[in-house]
Amino acid sequence: MTNIRNLQDLRAEKKRLEALSLQQKNDIKQYIADIKESLQPANLLLNAVSHLTGIEFDNKTFLKNGMAYGLSILVQQYFLKAEQKVEEKLHDITISLVEKVKEFVQSFLHKNENQNTQKETN
């Protein structure tokens, strides 16, 4: 509230209060419209699903979030399959290397045994 000293101040204050009143009426109308929108059955269902899943659903972002979630699942599945293929290849390579090392060690041991038996016979 301001100090009103004359008629001009009174008129200015009246205009300011009328503008403030109009703004508050518009804010209340918007608030009521938002409440009415949120109480529609589709929005109640979205809010319930959002609350249960922890994923934010909004009429504007529902499709975008759904697409992002679906894409995320597809990417995860792709990497899971790729991971399995890489794992299988690494497993095969590891088995092959182990077999080669085993063969090398056995051939080395047989070679030493042959040398030892030859020394014993000589």
3-state SS string over 28-91?
HHHHHHHHHHHCCHHHHHHHHHHHHHCCCCCCCCHHHHHHHHHHHHHHHHHHHHHHHHHHHHHH
* Predicted structure pTM score: 0.42
Of 16-20, 52-56, 101-105, highest mean pLDDT: 16-20
pLDDT of the residue at 95: 92
Q: Is a pLDDT exceeding 90 seen at residue 23?
A: yes
> Percentage of residues in the chain with pLDDT exceeding 70?
81
